[in-house]
Amino acid sequence: MLDPTITNFLAEQQERISGTEPHIAFSDEEYASRLERLQRAMAEDGVDTLVLSSPESQNWLHGLALRWYKANGPRDWRPLTCTVVRVDAGFILFEGVEHTEMIRRTSAAADVRLLPRYERDGMLRFIINEMKQEGWVAGSNVGLEKYSAIPNPAVSLMIEGALLDAGARVVDATLTARRVRAVKSAAELEAVKKAAEICDAGLLHLASVLRPGMTELEAHGELIRGLSNAGGEPAGLHQVAFVGLAALGVYHEISGRRVITEDDFLDVDPCGVYKRYHSNRSQLYAFKEPPKAATELINILAGGFDILLERARPGVRIGDVNRELYDYYEQAGVFELNSSVWIGGYEMGIAFPPDWVGEWKFTVVGGEDDDRVFEAGTVANFESMCGIGLLDSFVIEEDKTSLLSKLPHEIMVVGQ
């Protein structure tokens, strides 16, 4: 017979856990507005029912935030956490009962339908049956996020097959789900600006402790310490710190055990993260005054941001700005240093592992034919990369375009 002290202990701890206040990121009004925007996009695209499977889409719609979505787990633990939205009704969050408390803490979803813990094999059947009872399947255009990393390809095929068997027409609604996130609300802009403050704090903390003799991993650890102490959350990608120059072919390095010497440059590429919103900013560190050539090159790269901030305004054709940026780098004579890397920017916002790169992007090289226009509420990074990589995030508002980081675009000399 179980010792009653164990039962009492667990009951007390459960009460403490259940008494924890929810930390839902935004107001009910904000989430209601997002649902309306999504339903408008669904109507425009002819999507009657939308199955949101990506963590980003579900977090955006109602706040759910987990650290595990069963992406690469055992084959019979299928990644089927999803939110099903109807164009003319509300939405249903489907999950397992094991995440009941996490839903209570992080999600504003009102209609939550849970499968018992040991019935995982029946999860897809459960979801489809519930959708059928609502009248959301037969004869409907049902959209899937086919470009999402979650679920994996095998489970995605299972979902599509089950929907087809139930009488649905299955369409790819990846862009339906993503484009509503590209333009940020006022509340979202506040979150991403806070994320930028966190990123700056992490970079400054690293500058205060970085010394020759540390390994890349130790520098990485200090970077994370600084971000975390400022209230930053884990990011969608590895917050890299590595020896070298990013744009010379090592920009997707993983921090390792290499010892940093006084003659090295240390390059870091983190994001500050707040309420899952990311703001990207790179920083190059040195332990002694950098060569004149390095300083001149950084100044050239920084000049690209000057053009971007002046020209990337609401309603301005993206291709025209790409052309001006291209001409600038070409006249500066640095394009020959950029044979293998990219100059451009991509959307920053909600992100979960394994990525923080958003859907919206612009590419400077060859991008003069881009007829889209910049929109107010857009948040993106810009990667000015020729030999050295200089990355920062910017926000386009109705009356101005500005950088999110407050740190200067220069090599930071530390450890002296």
Whether residues 225 and 115 share a domain: the answer is: no
- Distances in Å between the alpha carbon of 170 and those of 45, 305, 310, 342? 13, 43, 44, 35
Pairing between β-strand 91-96 and β-strand 283-286 as defined by DSSP bridges? unpaired
Maximum CA extent, the chain: 82
One domain for residues 72 and 218: no
| CA separation for the pair 1, 3 (Å, rounded) | 6
CATH code of the domain containing 406? 3.90.230.10
Same domain, 209 and 312: yes
User: Nearest to residue 395, comparing CAs of 114, 191, 209?
Assistant: 191
The stretches in the chain having pLDDT less than 50 are none
What pLDDT sits at residue 340?
A: 66
Q: CA–CA separation, 37 vs 376, rounded Å?
A: 16
For residue 339, what pLDDT is reported?
59
Residues 169, 201, single domain; the answer is no
| Shared-domain flag, residues 334 and 251 | yes
Strands (E), 72-200: 82-86, 91-96, 112-115, 141-144, 169-172
Domain encompassing residue 136: 4-181
Q: Which of 151, 181, 211 is the last residue of a domain?
A: 181
CB 25 within 8 A of CB 275: yes
**Residue 274 DSSP SS3:** strand
Give the closest residue to 206 by CA, choosing from 241, 181, 247, 246: 241
pLDDT score, position 184: 98
Per-residue model confidence (pLDDT) at position 118: 64
Packing angle of the helix pair 28-45, 174-182 (nearest 10 deg):
130
Among 149, 181, 213, which residue terminates a domain? 181
Number of structural domains the chain divides into = 2
Residue 242 and residue 175 share a domain: no
Report the predicted TM-score, pTM, of the whole model to 2 decimal places: 0.95
CATH number at residue 43: 3.40.350.10
At 334-361, the pLDDT tens digits run: 877 765 678 999 999 999 999 999 999 9
Query: 399 and 349 in one domain?
Result: yes
Q: How far apart are the C-alpha atoms of 91 and 374, rounded to whole Å?
A: 31
Show the beta-strand stretches assigned E in 188-293: 240-243, 265-269, 271-274, 277-280, 283-286
Same domain, 238 and 328: yes
pLDDT of residue 416: 65
Is 53:144 a contact under the CB 8 Å cutoff? Answer: yes
Do residue 235 and residue 167 come from a single domain? Answer: no
Residue closest to 385 by CA, chosen among 351, 355, 345, 342: 342
Q: Are residues 376 and 327 in the same domain?
A: yes
Q: Are residues 219 and 357 in the same domain?
A: yes
Domain end (from 128, 158, 181): 181
Burial class (CB in 10 A: 0-12, 13-18, 19+), 186: exposed
Element (H, E) at 311: helix 292-311
User: Is 280 in the same domain as 372?
Assistant: yes
